[in-house]
């Protein structure tokens, strides 16, 4: 099932999701560094990573919802997508709560509960990330129809089902990469 929201031929949700995952995971690592050292700089970095990660998560969710609405009803993909999306809403909510506790408390020296919410968010993100992988890798959500190992570049405007001959420049570029 091809993605509804694309940029330069690739699903926008799949491009954006790396930002909240990276930012929020890094925030937990910086929180652990803060707890280990007491250095408030680590707490400050975690604070701003969470702020940016929550915003990026909300933006990514818009495109994920748009793609999910296109999945046919009564399919396994629809159910997996629902759990993936709802789980990620909880992940963002956990981090938003953690950020809120920091904002209204000691921003760069977070309470243990604020750090705990982040750890819970990352653990849940591991599950929802697996569900996202299940959607793409197993259920082919967001994959162009007919995609294969010799499909032409998404920038070519050609359907993925076409085969690029091995002597084409695009194929030589792919082999060199």
Q: What pLDDT was estimated at residue 23?
A: 98
- What torsion do the CA atoms of 153, 67, 58, 128 make, to the nearest 10 degrees? -90
Q: Which residue shows structure tokens 């793409």?
A: 136
What are the residue ranges spanned by the domains of the chain?
6-143, 145-177
Q: What pLDDT was estimated at residue 132?
A: 96
Q: What pLDDT was estimated at residue 114?
A: 96
Mean pLDDT, the chain cut into blocks of 10 residues (177 residues total):
81 93 98 95 97 98 95 96 98 97 88 96 98 94 87 88 73 51
Q: What pLDDT was estimated at residue 143?
A: 86
Q: What pLDDT was estimated at residue 3?
A: 78
Q: What pLDDT was estimated at residue 28?
A: 98
């Amino acid at each position: 099932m091809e993605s509804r929201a694309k940029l330069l031929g690739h699903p926008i949700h799949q491009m954006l999701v790396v930002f909240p995952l990276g930012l929020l995971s890094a925030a937990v690592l910086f929180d652990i560094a803060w707890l280990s050292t007491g250095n408030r700089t680590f707490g400050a970095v975690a604070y701003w990573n969470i702020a940016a990660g929550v915003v990026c998560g909300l933006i990514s969710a818009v495109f994920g919802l748009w793609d999910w609405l296109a999945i046919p009803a009564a399919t396994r993909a629809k159910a997996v997508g629902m759990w993936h999306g709802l789980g990620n809403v909880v992940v963002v909510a956990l981090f938003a709560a953690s950020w809120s506790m920091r904002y209204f408390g000691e921003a760069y020296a977070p309470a243990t509960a604020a750090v705990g919410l982040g750890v819970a968010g990352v653990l849940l993100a591991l599950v929802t990330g697996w569900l996202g992988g299940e959607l793409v890798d197993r259920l082919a959500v967001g994959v162009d129809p007919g995609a294969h190992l010799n499909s032409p570049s998404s920038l070519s405007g050609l359907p993925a089902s076409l085969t690029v001959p091995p002597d084409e420049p695009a194929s030589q570029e792919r082999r060199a990469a």
